[in-house]
Structure 1
Amino acid sequence: MTKLNSHTCDCIVIGGGAAGMMSAVCASQGGASVILIEHTARLGSKILQTGNGKCNFTNLHMQADCYQNGNPDFVMQVLNTFPVQDTLEFFENAGIYHKDRNGYVYPHSETAASLQSALRYEVEQSGVTVFTEQSVLSVEKKDGSFYVTTDTDSFCGHACILATGSKAAPKTGSDGSGYTLARKFGHHIIKPLPALVQLTSDNPLCKAMSGVRSTGTVTVFADGNSVASDTGEIQYTDYGISGIPVFQVSRYAVKAADSKRIVTAVVDMLPDFEAETLITQSIKRMYQHNTQDIVTFFSGLLNKKLVQAVAKSCGYPAGTTMDALGKKGIAKMITAFKDFSFDITGSRSFDAAQICQGGVSLEEVDSQFMQSLLCPGLFFAGELLDVDGKCGGYNLQWAWSSGHLAGTSAAQYCISQKGTHYDSN
């Protein structure tokens, strides 16, 4: 049997994403010797995907309803320990100046790589020892110390921070392995499901609408009851619907579908118009353009592909003239524009999801320290927990705040344990 390389420190951080790096930096700055273990080749890979590569890393409008879970007080308590202003100051000290777009905050360079590099540099400068391409096989606690084993190395420390991420975007390293590690310490895992993800539909008109981007309001219904709604640019695809407003409501649709509820997404393609006003105006205009075909007539309102799809759903061939359509047909078309339904079959996979809903139950974590209530010295940070935020920098702010608190608390814990077991110095 190959002998493993052995390493000792105060605090072991598992996971080199946003939350893990912040945890490691803060634990080190708090006086602990820190080892950071990441199973991919580079730290912070997922950061590069945020904000379409521009990295929307926080938001100036931070409220409890920007996050979804059963315990909003928990989330706000953690966020308030390291609020947005502290985040901006931290990154400015690291050389990342920011720009604000209606509350959405980006690096002034508008490149995610700049923030990733700055954070990796902070890890290095803080004296954290980093091990990459190391897959954790086991974590256990014996005689007051944590023992972590990988393929080639073993690690021992007073404290352990799990910041392994969720199952979303597994190509960046988020493979869900942290759930297994947390379970071994008795923690319950709320079923992880995709969130901030595209929704799939078996509507036969999806392919006809594919490629169109248009402002609209999407409302999700579960068993006929409205559960979420959002407005913005909707992207119509061959498999269903996408875009920011779809991402914002997707968690509700996915959760309802997973519970075997009947899920429908209703799109108002003309949210800036009242149906009655449009009907009146269109009937008036019809008399002047009675020979015009239905698609051309409505193309000043909507993309022709959407008009064709809606016309087909209403039973009207694309070549139907306005004279043949008539008043009732106009009312039917505009009603369909304002109330177009997609039967939702589910969502794209974890590969396409930006984040997950579900994770380590907050009921078993102390919000004052991010410490396990079941195992002293075990801390959590980031997306591994049952916290999911809206699009707009909210999930990265959760990573910064929870990582800061976990790292700071772990360092304090290590100091309190000095001399009780081994001394890493």
Structure 2
Amino acid sequence: MNKVAIIGGGAAGLMAALTAARAGADVTIYEHNKSVGKKILASGNGRCNIINTTACRDDYFGADPGFSAYALQQMPFKTFEKFCQTIGLLLDIKDDGRCYPLSNEAKSVVLAFQTAVKEAGVKIVSEKRVSGIAKEGKQFIIESDQEKAAYDKVLIATGSEAAPQLGATGDGYDFAKTFGHEIEPPYPSLVQLHLDSTIHHKMAGVKTLAEVTLYLNGRPEEKVQGDILFTRYGISGLAILDVSQKASLALMEYQHVAVGINLLPRFNRQALGTLIEKLTVAVPNHPLETALTGILSIKVVPHLLQSARIRPDIPASQLTTKEIKKLSHLIQDWRFDIIDTHGFKHAEVSGGGVSTAQIDNKTMESKLVEGLYFAGEVIDIVGRRGGYNFNFAWASGMIAGKEMART
């Protein structure tokens, strides 16, 4: 029977612990928080978008996104669904592929795992931070709070630096480096963005459905639709989170990053021009600023006109054909430079991490140190929004758990 230590009681760690214990291993989880699954509890606004039925290699980023493919193949959705049934967890499957616990509460997920690992005989050492991992002969020595214990195999599933208020740390990177592993620089992902602008804070609170185009060095890189929210620091919303991975990585690489916002994606450029023209005919004597509030937020219009260099107080009837074209273009591609992200504290996940070049993707074992494994977000794999990061955490945890139980 292998004696296994798992550092980190998040999604990957819990899955690995349960898989290994069910396969006969003697498993101990080290979790420095008061209890396991703290980040799971906060996911999906407390609902836990637990997985996505459509996950594939194209939904992931990193130095080698293809590293994720084998794990995803080993745990397709039907396999995960059957696993959930073994721990008493039923799923609510949405039309877009997202899945939530049927209870619609993340607490259900954590409770199901807590109960299952306890039944499987897993020991949980909580509120003790691992201060060091060393290998002596064929065994690993785990040190925590001046106590030492020996194990045959170790899994590092510590997650990333995202959401430090939930106990996230970069400890896993430090442990990996002590064994010679390289770390791809971490960066916040699924995170809000800071704008280089003098007007965004004046529109704080404005939320609307928009189309967002990410520009890197002036070239369009990605286009998504979803809600956006202007804030005092910049911009947020689901569409912004969707482009934030590429934006954050580009900022770290000192590229020029900008977003183009289409405030009225329902219309093509010509139809929008016709709409504005009809509006000026309908209320010819209204100040232009007032007339445009018929199609755009009252907090947005004055700043849009300022950007277009069109006087807000002229009668609507005085808007020229040239100005209508200019205004239509700006409404559908209002550019803002991005200068920063809102940081790890507000990020849902992190990109970067332990280099996949030094991990066997079929076992999750280190290629440098026999008996050392990695799973989940500590690895240089980050997914899109919508449950994809959980997909990889569950799948990589399952593979690592199986392998660590092998004698």
In which range does the TM-score fall when normalised by the shorter chain?
A: over 0.9
Match of 1:57? 50
Determine whether 1:395 maps to 2:386. Answer: no
Deviation at 1:392, TM superposition (A): 0.4
- Alignment of 1:69 with 2:80, yes or no, is no
List alignment gaps of at least 5 residues for structure 1.
1-7, 416-425
Q: Is the 8 A contact 1:199 1:242 kept in 2?
A: yes
Decide whether aligned partners of structure 1 residues 318 and 116 sit closer, same or farther in structure 2, where only a CA change above 3 A counts: farther
Q: What is the total number of aligned residue pairs between the two structures? A: 406
- Name 1:173's counterpart in structure 2: 167
SS in 2 for 1:13: strand
Q: Contact 2:139–2:150 at 8 Å: present in 1 too?
A: yes
Q: In structure 2, what is the Cα distance between the partners aligned to 1:324 and 1:383?
A: 57
Offset at residue 255 of structure 1 (A) = 1.3
The answer to whether the 8 A contact 2:65-2:381 is kept is: no
Partners of 1:296 and 1:361 in 2: CA distance: 55
Please list, as runs of the form range in 1=range in 2, the aligned pairs for 1:155-166 lying within 5 A after superposition.
155-166=149-160
**What residue number does 1:252 align with?**
246
Displacement of 1:341 in angstroms is 0.9
Moved more, 350-359 or 306-315: 306-315
| Aligned position for 2:358 | 364
Equivalent residues of 2:289, 2:301 under 8 A apart: yes
Alpha-carbon distance between aligned partners in 2 of 1:53 and 1:320, rounded to the nearest angstrom: 49
Deviation track 1:18-69 (CA, whole Å, cap 9, x = no partner) reads 1111111111111110111001111000011111111110011112211112
Code of the aligned partner of 1:328: K
d(CA) in 2 for partners of 1:377 and 1:109? 38
Matched residue, 2:41 = 48
1:280 match: 274
State the match for 1:5 in structure 2: none
In the TM superposition, what is the alpha-carbon distance from 1:142 to its structure 2 partner? 0.9
Distance (whole Å) between structure 2 residues aligned to residue 148 and residue 284 of structure 1: 73
1:406 paired residue number: 400
1:9 Cα deviation (Å)?
A: 6.7
CA deviation after TM superposition for structure 1 residue 330, in Å: 2.1
1:175-254 pair list within 5 angstroms: 175-254=169-248
Q: How much has 1:317 moved relative to structure 2? A: 4.4
Which residue identity does 1:248 align to in structure 2? D
Q: 1:84 maps to which residue?
A: 77
- Hey, what's the Cα distance between the residues in 2 that align with 1:404 and 1:285? 59
Unaligned runs of 5+ in 2: none
96-105 or 358-367: bigger deviation: 96-105
Q: Any idea what SS the aligned residue of 1:366 has?
A: coil
Which deviations, in whole Å up to 9, do the C-alpha atoms of 1:143-196 show, x marking residues without a partner?
Answer: 100101011421211100000001101122221110000011111000000000
Contact 2:55–2:391 under 8 Å retained in 1: no
Match of 1:100 in 2: 93
Matched, 1:265 2:293: no
Q: For 1:285 and 1:169, how far apart are their aligned partners in 2?
A: 47
**Percent identical across equivalent pairs?**
34
> Partners of 1:112 and 1:26 in 2: how far apart?
21
Q: What's the offset of the Cα at 1:284?
A: 3.4
- Calculate the TM-score normalised by the size of structure 1: 0.93
What secondary structure, in the 3-state scheme, does the structure 1 residue paired with 2:70 have? helix
Q: Which of the residues 374, 377, 381 maps onto 2:375?
A: 381
Q: Distance in 1 between matches of 2:87 and 2:385?
A: 25
Report the equivalent of 1:37: 30
CA displacement 1:380-411 (0-9 Å, x = unmatched): 11000000001100001111100000111111
Aligned residue number for residue 312 of structure 1: 306
Letter in 1 for 2:129: S
RMSD, matched Cα: 1.5
Cα deviation digits, residues 112-149 of structure 1 (max 9, x gap)? 11111111111111100110011111101111001010
What is the CA-CA distance between 1:279 and the residue it aligns to? 0.8
Q: Deviations over 1:295-330 (max 9, x none)?
A: 332223222212222112122344332123332222
Distance 1:379 1:281 in 2: 60
Bigger mean CA deviation after superposition, 255-264 or 15-24: 255-264
Residues 244-271 of structure 1: CA deviation (Å, up to 9, x unaligned): 1111111111111111111111111111
Give the TM-score, by structure 2 length: 0.97
Q: Equivalents in 2 of 1:317, 1:122: separation in Å?
A: 66
Contact 1:294–1:318 at 8 Å: present in 2 too? yes
Shift of 1:11: 0.4
Does the 8 Å CA contact 1:9/1:156 hold for their aligned counterparts? no
Question: Matched residue of 2:209: which SS?
Answer: strand
